[in-house]
């Protein structure tokens, strides 16, 4: 059981046509290529693509993926729609959130809040706000404190049925 | 999770796995994959050509040096002006000698472009217009 790299990274160019419909082009590149190198190449490639398409180029994304080669079986009856939602204050007085799918009932309180005194939750929270991890809000500001955390059910899609 | 743009892929993965280890005890699901995605957005957004349609795509076929492994990429709303106008394939085949096409292919190969399995591509040997619904 290990997380292994996919054989190639992926560069996706995003387009929009006159009707507003969206499209994309996918290129692959050697996984070991530095993101900064791909950014430079993507800028040049976008400019070259602009000359051969009538659509507007809205941007691009660069993706590196690791996947579990032998994933373990999830707990019986676990549902990814049953999420734990964690909302953090940020250093610029805004908020930022992330969710954890299939949150365990053991960390929930009867009112649906996540028990912020649970030792597993305090360990997670300490790591998020402690500054040891690189993660931040979408605008780059630090996550400073857990504002609220609660259970949230999302809609089940047809493919998510048991 | 979001990360600063100047963080390296290795740093984000390492911290992501540290975070995943803390998340694992509070979820009944299992980790399948971790992705690091960098996004660049065009500013300002420009208007598309008036007659452009995403479904008219240019399909480009690339191959490796040995001409054994092949892959495809498509360019939405390919310009009609790039299609050959005479002979067999007129209005369908993309002119691989067109200078804009040559420049685009050169930039794509310079990535360097690989197939999804990481095999480096060396040339584009065919291209034509595809219309998709």
Q: How far is B46 from chain A (nearest CA, A)?
A: 6
Q: What distance in Å separates the CA atoms of residue B31 and residue B90, rounded to the nearest whole number?
A: 51
A74: tokens are 């999830």
| DSSP 3-state of A109 | coil
Q: Assess whether B65 and B111 both reside in one domain.
A: yes
Confidence band (pLDDT; 50, 70, 90) for A19?
A: very high
Q: What angle do CA A49, A51, A53 make, to 5 degrees?
A: 70
Q: For an interface test with A, which of B43, B77, B105 has the most A Cβ atoms less than 10 Å from its Cβ?
A: B77
- Mean of the pLDDT values across residues A54-61? 96
How many beta carbons lie within 10 A of that of residue B75, not counting itself? 27
Domain count, chain B: 2
pLDDT at B68: 94
> For residue B62, is it within any domain?
yes
Q: Which residues of A touch B30 (CB under 8 A)?
A: 68, 71-74
Measured in degrees and rounded to the nearest 5, phi and psi for residue A96 equal: -145, 145
Q: Assess whether B126 and B68 both reside in one domain.
A: yes
| DSSP 3-state of A98 | strand
Q: Has residue A75 got a pLDDT over 90?
A: no
Which bin fits A57, alpha (ψ -120 to 50), beta or left (φ > 0)? Answer: beta
Q: What distance in Å separates the CA atoms of residue A43 and residue B114, rounded to the nearest whole number?
A: 18
C-alpha distances (whole Å) from A148 to each of A88, A145, B77 are 7, 9, 46
pLDDT at A44: 96
Complex ipTM above 0.90? yes
- Mean of the pLDDT values across residues B77-97? 94
What is the value of pTM for the model shown?
Answer: 0.88
Confidence band (pLDDT; 50, 70, 90) for A17?
A: very high
Q: Assess whether B71 and B25 both reside in one domain.
A: no
Confidence band (pLDDT; 50, 70, 90) for A1?
A: low
> For residue B104, is it within any domain?
yes
Q: Assess whether B17 and B78 both reside in one domain.
A: no
pLDDT at A100: 95
> For residue B99, is it within any domain?
yes
Q: Assess whether B71 and B103 both reside in one domain.
A: yes
DSSP bridge partners of A136: B2
> For residue B51, is it within any domain?
no
- Mean of the pLDDT values across residues B96-120? 96
pLDDT at B106: 97
Contact by Cβ (8 Å): A109, A103: no
Whole-number average pLDDT of chain A: 93
Q: Assess whether B16 and B62 both reside in one domain.
A: no
pLDDT at B132: 74
Q: Assess whether B26 and B61 both reside in one domain.
A: no
- Verify whether the Cβ–Cβ distance A25 to B39 is below 8 Å: no
Question: Domain coordinates of chain A in residue numbers?
Answer: 3-68, 82-160
pLDDT at A57: 97
Radius of gyration over alpha carbons of chain A, in Å?
20
Q: Which residues of A touch B114 (CB under 8 A)?
A: 7-8, 28-30
A44 touches B at CB < 8 Å:
yes
Residues contacting residue A93 through CB under 8 Å, at least 6 positions apart: none
> For residue B110, is it within any domain?
yes
Q: Which domain holds residue B77?
A: 56-131
């Amino acid at each position: 059981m290990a997380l292994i790299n996919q054989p190639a990274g992926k560069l996706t160019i995003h387009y929009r046509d006159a009707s507003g419909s969206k499209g994309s082009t996918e290129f692959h590149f050697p996984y070991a290529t530095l993101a900064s190198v791909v950014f430079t190449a993507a800028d040049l490639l976008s400019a070259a693509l602009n000359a051969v398409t009538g659509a507007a180029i809205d941007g691009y994304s660069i993706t590196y993926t690791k996947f579990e080669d032998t994933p373990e079986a999830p707990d019986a009856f676990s549902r990814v729609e049953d999420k734990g939602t964690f909302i953090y204050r940020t250093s610029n007085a805004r908020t930022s959130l992330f969710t954890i799918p299939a949150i365990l009932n053991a960390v929930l309180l009867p009112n649906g809040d996540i028990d912020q005194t649970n030792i597993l939750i305090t360990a997670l929270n300490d790591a998020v706000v402690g500054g040891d991890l690189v993660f931040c809000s979408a605008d780059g500001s630090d996550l400073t404190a857990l504002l609220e955390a609660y259970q949230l059910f999302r809609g089940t899609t047809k493919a998510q049925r048991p | 999770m979001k990360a600063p743009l100047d963080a390296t892929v290795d740093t984000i993965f390492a911290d992501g796995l540290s975070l995943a280890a803390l998340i694992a005890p509070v979820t009944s699901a299992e980790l399948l994959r971790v992705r690091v995605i960098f996004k660049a957005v065009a500013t300002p957004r420009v208007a598309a050509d008036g007659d452009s349609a995403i479904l008219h795509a240019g399909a480009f076929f690339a191959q490796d040096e040995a001409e054994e492994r092949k892959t495809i990429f498509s360019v939405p709303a390919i310009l009609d002006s790039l299609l050959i106008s005479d002979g067999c394939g007129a209005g369908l085949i993309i002119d691989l000698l067109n200078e804009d096409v040559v420049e685009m292919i050169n930039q794509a190969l310079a990535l360097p472009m690989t197939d999804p399995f990481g095999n480096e591509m060396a040339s584009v040997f065919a291209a034509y217009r595809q219309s998709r619904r």
